[in-house]
Amino acid sequence: MGTGVPGKPDNPRTKQFYYGTRADLKPGDLIEPNMTTYVYLTPNLDAAIWEAELAEGEGPGRVYTVEPIGQMEDAYSNKVPSGTTPVKTE
């Protein structure tokens, strides 16, 4: 995705990201991968809600606003999940 200005792509650090899960997280908790190499982040709230509903575990689906603090990769250009860990809840 771009800014609409040729040669100036969006900075992923300035976007709002969401994380969907069933885990009960607190502000400042670090989210790290369990069985995969990646933590899936999305700038799309609807996608995070969907991920929360599909997540394994007990309890209700939850969506958190998160801040990526590790390396990020674009899922569409590199065929990998959209964010790598770690990320921190806000």
pTM across the whole model: 0.69
pLDDT surpassing 70 at residue 63: yes
Other Cβ atoms within 10 Å of 58 Cβ, number: 7
Mean local confidence (pLDDT), 46-61: 92
What is the CATH number for 67? Answer: 3.20.170.40
Residue 83 in domain: yes
Residue 8 in domain: no
Structural domain that includes position 17: 13-89
pLDDT surpassing 50 at residue 1: no
Return the SS3 of 52: helix
What secondary structure does DSSP assign to 1-48, as a single string?
A: -B-SSTT-B--GGGS-EEEEESS---TTPEE--SSSS----BS-HHHH
Return the pLDDT at 24. 93
Return the pLDDT at 53. 94
Residue 4 in domain: no
* Number of domains forming the structure of the chain: 1
State pLDDT tens for residues 15-38: 789 999 999 999 999 888 776 677
Residue 6 in domain: no
